[in-house]
Amino acid sequence: MNTAIYKYLQSDSTLTELLKQTLPLDNKIGVGRAHNSRAYPLLVIQSSPYDMGVAHEEHQLKVVLATKDEDELEAITKRLIELLHTKFKPIQFDDIRIFHSRHVIGGSLFFHPEDEVYEQILYFNFKL
């Protein structure tokens, strides 16, 4: 599941442009951990199942975004919500089909003064 979400986010040119990503040298999207924890902006995703006993598996996706600039953080957050808060519009990528995805909690914004970094955490629930 993490790989499919990773590929889906990587395929969006608007998001990768906002992240100032130049592949393969500068991968700004990590699964579970950042590729380079000082290459801002950066994005870390991690999905985990939370209800597999139903017809459509339910998962939660945690997205952590870190930037040096608050305006940049807002623009990337907005794009992530556009991509991942689809309500009842399915997302199809490779062999994975997400039937329903919505932003459930998030907006928690932290500023780390020692590093001068803004951090945003977003959560999405989705059904496969």
H/E stretch holding 92 reads: strand 91-93
* The two structure tokens encoding residue 52: 């597999």
Q: Do 104 and 123 form a contact (C-beta atoms < 8 A)?
A: yes
Q: What is the pLDDT of residue 118?
A: 95
2-127 to CATH, choices 3.30.2000.30, 1.10.1060.10, 3.30.70.2190, 1.25.40.10: 3.30.2000.30
> For the chain, what are the domain ranges?
2-127
Backbone angles phi, psi at 18, to 5 degrees: -65, -35
Q: Do 38 and 26 form a contact (C-beta atoms < 8 A)?
A: no
Q: What is the pLDDT of residue 86?
A: 87
pLDDT tens, N- to C-terminus, the chain (128 residues) = 788 888 889 989 999 999 998 876 678 999 988 877 778 999 999 988 876 666 567 889 999 999 999 999 999 999 999 999 987 787 877 777 777 788 887 668 899 999 999 999 999 988 87
Q: Do 41 and 18 form a contact (C-beta atoms < 8 A)?
A: yes
What sign has the CA pseudo-torsion 55, 91, 125, 2? positive
pTM for this model (two decimals): 0.88
Query: Whole-angstrom Cα distance, residue 38 to residue 40?
Result: 6
